[in-house]
Each structure stands twice: as C-alpha cells, then as structure tokens.
Amino acid sequence: MKIYPVILSGGAGTRLWPLSRAVMPKQLLPLVTDKTMLQDTVLRVAGWPELMAPLVVCGNEHRFLVAEQLREIGVKPLGIMLEHVGRNTAPAVAAAAHFLKKLDPEAVMLVLPADHVIENNAAFAQAVATAARLVEGGSLATFGIVPTAPETGYGYIHRGPVAEGAEGGYQVDRFVEKPNRETAEQFVADGKYYWNSGMFLFRAENYLQELATFAPAIAAASEAAVRLGYSDLDFCRLDEASFAACPSDSIDYAVMEHTSHAVVVPSDIGWSDVGSWSALWQVQQASTGDAHGNVQRGDVYLDGVTNSLVRAESRIVALVGVDDLIVVETNDAVLVAHKGQVQRVKQIVDHLKHKERTEHLHHTKVYRPWGHYEGIDAGDRFQVKRITVKPGEKLSLQMHHHRAEHWVVVSGTARVTCGEKVSLLSENESTYIPIGMNHRLENPGKVPLHIIEVQSGSYLGEDDIVRFEDIYKRA
C-alpha cells in the first residue's frame, strides 16, 4: 500500500494573533520548536517506508513561503497545490484526491493539517498502521484523540461497535459539536468519546465516491478545478473559476457524518491543534516550562510570575508579580490576556478588519520569494524600509506611479536597472529611482544584499506596482 501524505496548510490562525497573521499564519511559524509547524508536520512522516513524498495544499499567497520552508528541511514535495480562494477541507482534499488518483488509481491519502502537534510519533505511526488495515476494506478512517481533559474547544466522536478488518478500530456512531463544560465532563467519564482531530486516512477513490454521493457539487467543481488546472513553476494551480464556484464545507459535514464507512482509530499520541495561546502554553509547559509553570521565549525578565506564557520578538519584556497571563510582543503590536480569556483574541482581529487596519494582515517584516523587507519608519509622504535580497535573486522589472525611491547599499553588491541604464553598486553607494521610471534590483553576488530604501511621494501603498517582467510569474 502506497500512502501519500496530504498536508493542508490553509487557515489564518487568528487566535494566535499578534504572531499569526494572514500573510504569515501559525503553520508557517516556529511556535513549538525551532522549526515551523509545517516543517514539523512534514518531517513527522518523512522516512516512513510506506509513505510517498507529501502533497501540500496551501493558499496562493503562501506559495513561496511553503516552497522555501520545504527546501530548508531538504524535502522535495510531490507537489504544492494552490487554492486561489479557501473553500474549507472537503474541496481541498477532493482536489488532492483527484490529483493523486491520476498518478496512482490505488492511492491512499493520509490527510494532516499542517498546524498540529503530535508528541508521540511512534504511537501515531501505530495508529496509522491500524487505520491502513481498515482502509484496505474500503473504510474511511479518522483518528480520535483519547481525551485527557473535558475540553470544550474540540468536537467529539462517539464510537460504535468494533470495526471489522483490524483490531483497534471502531465504527463511528456520531460526530458531536463542541460541548459545554458539563457535557464534556460526561464524555470523558463515558470513555467512548474522542476528540475530533481532523486527521484522516482513506483511498482517494473511496473518498471521491462518497463525496459524489453526499456532496455532488463539491465533487464536480473540484474535479473541474484539477482537470482545468495547470503548472506554474513548481506549483499546481487549480482552475480559479471552477474552485471559486465550489461550495465551502468541511470533510466532516460533507462526507464523514453521512457515510456508512466511517471508522475511528483511538489515538493516544500527545496531540494538540494549538488553537489558542493557552493551548500553546499547555504544550510547551511540560517540555520547556520553568519551575513556576512559565513558558518564555526571547528577551524576557520575570519576577514573581507563575503559570504564564511570555514571548518577546523585538525588545525586552518584563513582568513582575502576576500569574496566568499571556503576553506576546511583536514590532507593531502587544497582546496581554488572561489565560482563561484567550478565545477572545479573535475579536481583536475582527476589530482590526473593521477599522481597515493592517496589523492582522502582515508583520513589519514581509517575506517575498526574493527575500524580505522590513518597515523601519513612516510618516507623511515618506517611509523607510530595510530590504534583503537573497544571492542570485531579483525583484520584478517594475515602476511606480506615485513614489520615488532612494536606495543605499549597506552590504553586498546590487545590480540596478533604471530605465536603459544598468549599474553595479557596492557598500555605501546609492542611487535614485524617479517616479514613473522602470527599474529593477538584483543580487548578482554570493552573499545576501542589504539595502536601505527611502520612499517619498503622495501614495506609498504596496499596490502601486506595475510589473513588466517577473521570474516568479506574479501578476
């Protein structure tokens, strides 16, 4: 049996603001280890003899970050499938199933969200082996997490009779929405309820058959999105019109709650979906917490502090005589919340959207396929950025209608195109790009290029870019 990991790297992770943002969501951040959650997920299943290279499904805006993070850990994916718009898990998995079925009609899919923590990988491998035996008989398997507490933030799965085909699996009796505290306590005491992990194992063909029965519109639209899709550099682009027309729904609602072939494999694997700051504190407290129950990262000073998570990204953060707090500092935002109130963080993001602010969209450091830039200062008719270009990379040939730019090379070598003129600039040299002039910045060297850019003009938005040529095929 060939098993293909399908890594779902969508979602915004708004409950982990201000660290997780639309352009840099939690799955692309190093929250638990020194690697990002996507990297940890991919490495978790790397090296299993029965597993093939992973297929990653992500949003179009994250494509270069995903590709770079996979390159950093030395993993060449089977493909990176791009969603122009998010349509929840049922269409994303259906598109992956159609893609895999073309390659291998007998393909088995191990569907894994990119932003989960699994501490016991050996137990997880055993659970996958149990599920694989059930899948051979045509079952659609999900992994039910053995609950350690009466959590109200998770959905539950109630098991039915023992499933035929493999010891350790059960027929699914029903899926249960997130319960209140009293009901969750009853579920845990019952012993037959499991947390719904959102992880699955099934044959691509079996999933598509059930999808066509219970959600035919999703099945048809996802098939068209793959059939009419195309390759772009190393990416697999779904047809935008077909996928945009696809109804949005989860695997549970579209298929698993209706099919008679659903089975659950109880899994005691040290699992968490890290859905909030308190969940992250709980995951890290056991491994990296201090004697007072604190989890800290960055330049942090604590005095008389207990059971708190403190994360400093850009400056010293000091806490004195407090407990049960979440404190997260970034360059442009600070969150202070009681650990028991962190589910309300999403309301902050909603407020920022309503006020048309940008702190929920991106950090001051913004990543691009050629490197990154970071905002340093801004005021009326000007802003200053620090730009880093990776060796051998180049920005698009572009122009701006409303701003001029001054570039000063801090280190490295810059090849600058300005109109018809091409020149090389070294450390401490500078150049001026007038409004309306075609221009391009390249790094022809072997070391990173660092420049300071001063923009001036009547409008300084990132959408004031007209691209004439771009090696990354951006519009």
DSSP per-residue letters across 149-191: S--SSS-EEEEEEEPTTSTT-EEEEEEEPPP-HHHHHHHHHHS
C-alpha closest to that of 188 among 251, 144, 123:
144
CA-CA distances (angstroms) from residue 144 to 1, 236, 237, 272? 23, 31, 32, 12
Of the pLDDT bands very low, low, confident and very high (cuts 50, 70, 90), residue 13 is confident
Percent of the chain having pLDDT more than 90? 95
CA-CA distances (angstroms) from residue 260 to 94, 286, 293? 19, 39, 45
Query: In the numeric block, which tokens belong to residue 53?
Result: 């290279």
**Strand ranges (DSSP E) for 274-369?**
295-297, 300-303, 309-312, 317-320, 325-329, 334-338, 365-368
Residues 6+ apart with CB under 8 A from 69: 28, 36, 38, 39
Percent of the chain having pLDDT more than 70? 100
| Residue 474: pLDDT over 90 | no
- pLDDT tens per residue, range 377-411: 999 999 999 999 999 999 999 999 999 999 999 99
- pLDDT tens per residue, range 267-292: 999 999 999 999 999 999 988 899 99
Distance CA 90, CA 248 (A): 8
| Residue 432: pLDDT over 80 | yes
The DSSP secondary structure of 4-61, one letter per residue, reads EEEEEE----GGGTTTS-SSS-GGGS-SSSSS-HHHHHHHHTTT-TTB---EEEEEGG
Distance CA 268, CA 146 (A): 5
- pLDDT tens per residue, range 142-165: 999 999 999 998 999 999 999 987
Query: What are the structural domains of the chain?
Result: 3-272 (3.90.550.10), 277-348 (no CATH), 365-469 (2.60.120.10)
Which H helix or E strand runs over 430? strand 430-433
Residue 406 or residue 233, greater confidence: 406
- pLDDT tens per residue, range 318-371: 999 999 999 999 999 999 999 999 999 999 999 999 999 999 999 999 999 999
| Residue 475: pLDDT over 80 | no
Residue 475 or residue 6, greater confidence: 6
Distance CA 372, CA 352 (A): 24
Residue 167 has a pLDDT of 86
Residue 351 has a pLDDT of 97
Mean pLDDT of 235-252: 96
β-partners of residue 157 are 175, 194
- Residue pair 130/170 in contact (Cβ under 8 Å)? The answer is no
Query: Of the ranges 163-177, 275-289, 446-460, which is most confident?
Result: 446-460
| Residue 465: pLDDT over 80 | yes
Mean pLDDT of 100-104: 96
- Residue pair 154/271 in contact (Cβ under 8 Å)? The answer is no
Residue 8 has a pLDDT of 98
Residue 166 has a pLDDT of 75
Q: pTM here? A: 0.92
Residue 286 has a pLDDT of 82
CB atoms within 10 A of CB 441: 27
Residue 363 has a pLDDT of 92
Residue 165 has a pLDDT of 75
The one-letter amino acid at 360: H
- Residue pair 324/308 in contact (Cβ under 8 Å)? The answer is yes
Residues 6+ apart with CB under 8 A from 209: none
Mean pLDDT of 434-453: 98
β-partners of residue 172 are 159
Residue 11 has a pLDDT of 82
Q: Identify the residue whose tokens are 């801090």.
A: 410
